Amino acid sequence: MSTLTKVLERNVSQIEKNANMKEGRFRLGHHLMPPVGWLNDPNGLCWYKGRYHVFFQYAPFDVEGGLKFWGHYTSENLLDWKYEGTALYPDSSYDCHGVYSGSSLIDQDKMHLFFTGNVKIDGDYDYINEGRETSTLHVESEDGIHFSDKEEVISFEKYPEDFTCHIRDPKVWKENDRYKMVLGGRLKEDKGAVLVYESEDLRDWKLERVITTPEVFGYMWECPDYFELDGQKFLSVSPQGLSREEYRFQNIYQSGYFPMKEDGSVDVNDFREWDMGFDFYAPQTFTDNKGRRLLIGWMGMPDADEEYVNKTIDEGWQHCLTVPRELTVRDGKILQAPAKELEGLRKEKTVLHDEKSIVEIRVEVNEGFDLVLDEIVMTGSSFKISMGGQMIFKYEDGVAEIGFSGIAGAGRSKRKAKIGELKNIRLLADTSAAEIYLNDGETVFSTRYYPDCEDLQLKILGGKFKGNLWNLRKMIFTK
């Protein structure tokens, strides 16, 4: 281990030890969060030798971001998590300005991590067309905890000429005995695209093709992912630079997927956003030993701080990941549902009787709760779930909406989605994060929220339904 790595390691563990996170009112019960400082994208998600591994972009020294490391959680059951500390440090000449996002590949009993090393050259550069040297790096491991030295597998000099310096976030998979990689990129004409590479040995990578849309669909595509589900191929990307619309692309940046056509092309008209809430970006998927495809997203949004913020900054940390969501396909659309294991957090159940026009019940937001409303039949023109008047879900005329009043949204206003009929809702509410799944997860809203009290009055009005509510135990986090 180099002296630099030792110094970084000592300082990160010191700052993690000194951070008194127990006091934080908004610390989460069933969402993964950083031990201290900042978290962004999920990285290297996999099931390996009996455990789930969730790595994440981690800036332990600065709650507002900055120099990126890879933090690391493991779990056998998706409920009880062990914090394994920092897996990758920005300690080489390839990644001294950040160990950026990437993925894992399990092959012949080894875990391989592929990621982007970020290097910014000092000088008067625009850092788009020049000034940045981002290469694709690789490490491997036999236990998922200790990693080999970093090796560069695609140098920044080898990327195609028609791309800017913005190429990053490798996602790797195996297909017919060959290895494939997608990288997100920005073409010189300010157009988002995905680069597809191929390799026979995981070390020598050749560019196979570039995927983009005929018309410009954002200037940059970050964090690509490729997978097959139910016989259909999908390409997921996080585009930057789309214009905001009333019912789509409401955030500064987006994340969504294209079903791929037979010839491997994608069409802007087929793009579907993963999530319609305020806080969702850069998701990654993986398959586990049960053959499920699970997705985890970053419950945050880059560069959103002029509009809305996170009150956890005062507690010395920022952002979390979504719960693992199982993906299935229905009528060409991907449905997302919290992984079944999360039902293991449920404590007492309350059956909600909807004979009255308003169902009211006190809920503990400092514990978290899981609300399921099935077979919804509207009795009025709108259907509402109000969380103490602070966060409100509303459905009317085929449009679902989340909104806030007072300080609970910390600047968050409204987000909407056209969903057709409303059939069912699942609301997973944590101390300061909520995920709302509509119509079996065909539409999802993820948002942070900051209630000003520890328990509040949940009110459901405007419909009949079969309802159940559970208080949740907190996940266990150990070090």
Interface characters, 211-240, with ligand FRU (x: CB under 6 A):
-----------xx-----------------
Integer-rounded Cα Rg, in Å, for the chain is: 22
Amino acid at 397: D
Shortest Å, Cβ 180 to ligand FRU: 19
Strand (E) or helix (H) holding 337: strand 333-338
The least CB distance from residue 59 to ligand FRU, in Å, is 8
Query: Using CB under 6 A, which of 282, 323, 402, 428 touches ligand FRU?
Result: 282
41 vs 430, beta carbon nearer ligand FRU: 41
Smallest gap from Cβ 98 to ligand FRU, in A, equals: 6
- According to CB under 6 A, which residues from 156 to 195 bind ligand FRU? 168-169
Among 52, 57, 286, 370, binds ligand FRU (CB under 6 A): 57
Give the x/- contact pattern for ligand FRU in 91-130, rule: CB under 6 A.
---------xx--------------x--------------
Please state, in angstroms and as integers, the Cα–Cα distance from residue 392 to each residue in 276, 320, 388, following that order: 15, 22, 8
What's the Cα-to-Cα distance from 94 to each of 89, 104, 117, 155, rounded to whole Å?
11, 19, 5, 9
Helix, strand or coil, per DSSP, at residue 3 = helix
Q: Least distance to ligand FRU from the beta carbon of 251, Å? A: 13
Tell me how far, at minimum, the Cβ of 300 lies from ligand FRU, in Å.
Answer: 8
Among residues 67, 45, 66, the alpha carbon closest in space to that of 56 is found at 45
Q: Are 31 and 323 in contact (CB under 8 A)?
A: yes
* Cα-Cα end-to-end distance for the chain: 22
Contacts of 372 (CB under 8 A, 6+ apart): 424, 425, 426, 467, 468, 469
Residue 40 in contact with ligand FRU, rule: CB under 6 A: yes
Beta strands in 155-307 (DSSP E): 163-175, 178-187, 191-199, 205-211, 220-229, 232-240, 256-259, 272-273, 281-287, 293-299
Asked if 224 and 183 touch (Cβ cutoff 8 Å), the reply is: yes
Residue from 27, 30, 53, 68 in contact with ligand FRU (CB under 6 A)? 68
Task: List the x/- string, 289-318, binding to ligand FRU by CB under 6 A.
Answer: -------------x----------------
| CB nearer to ligand FRU: pick between 304 and 372 | 304
Told to judge if 41 belongs to the known catalytic residues of this protein, a careful annotator would answer yes
* Catalytic hit among 41, 169, 225, 279: 41
Residues in contact with ligand FRU by CB under 6 A are 40-41, 57, 68, 100-101, 116, 168-169, 222-223, 281-282, 302
Any idea which residues carry the catalytic annotation? 41
